[in-house]
Amino acid sequence: MKVGLDTISFNPMNLDPMGFLDKTIEYGLEGLQLLGTRTFIEKPAEYTEEFLAKLHAHNLYLELYGARVNPRDSGKSVAEMVEDWKPLFPVAARMGAHCLNTSFGLIKERTMTAPTFAEQYERSIQVLKALAPMAADYKVYVTMELHVDLTFNEMARLIETVNSPWIRVNFDTANPLGLMEDPVEAAERLAPYTQTTHYKDTIVFLTDDGFTWLGGAALGTGLVNLPQVTEILYKANPDLHLNIEDGWGYIHVPSYDEAFLRTFPEYDAVHMMQFMKELRRGQGMLEAGMQIRPEQYKDHDAAQMMAAHMWHSAEYARKLRDEIEAKAK
Q: What is the pLDDT of residues 189-215, one digit of tens each?
A: 999 999 999 999 999 999 999 999 998
User: What is the per-residue pLDDT for 83?
Assistant: 98
Q: Say what the pTM is.
A: 0.98
pLDDT-derived band at 263 (thresholds 50, 70, 90) equals: very high
d(CA 295, CA 122): 38
Instruction: Please report how many Cα atoms fall inside a 13 Å half-sphere around the Cα of residue 15, on the Cβ side.
Output: 19
72 pLDDT more than 90: yes
Where are the domains positioned within the chain? 2-328
Sort strands 250-253 and 194-199 into parallel, antiparallel or unpaired.
Answer: unpaired
Sign of CA dihedral 166, 71, 181, 172: positive
- What number of H helices and E strands is found in the chain? 12, 11
| DSSP-derived secondary structure for 206-273 | EETTEEEEE----TTSSS--HHHHHHHHHHH-TT-EEEE---S-EEEE-TT-HHHHTT-TT--HHHHH
Q: Which of 256, 174, 181 is nearest to 215 (CA)?
A: 174
Q: pLDDT value at position 248? A: 83
Separation of alpha carbons 257 and 259, rounded Å? 6
CA dist., res. 119 & res. 78, Å (int) = 12
Q: Are the C-beta atoms of residues 239 and 212 closer than 8 Å to each other?
A: no
Distance CA 207, CA 213 (A): 10
Among 138-142, 156-160, 300-304, where is mean pLDDT lowest? 300-304
Query: What's the pLDDT at 216?
Result: 79
Longest dimension (CA), the chain: 58
CATH class (in words) of the domain with range 2-328: alpha beta
Residue 329 has pLDDT above 90, yes or no: no
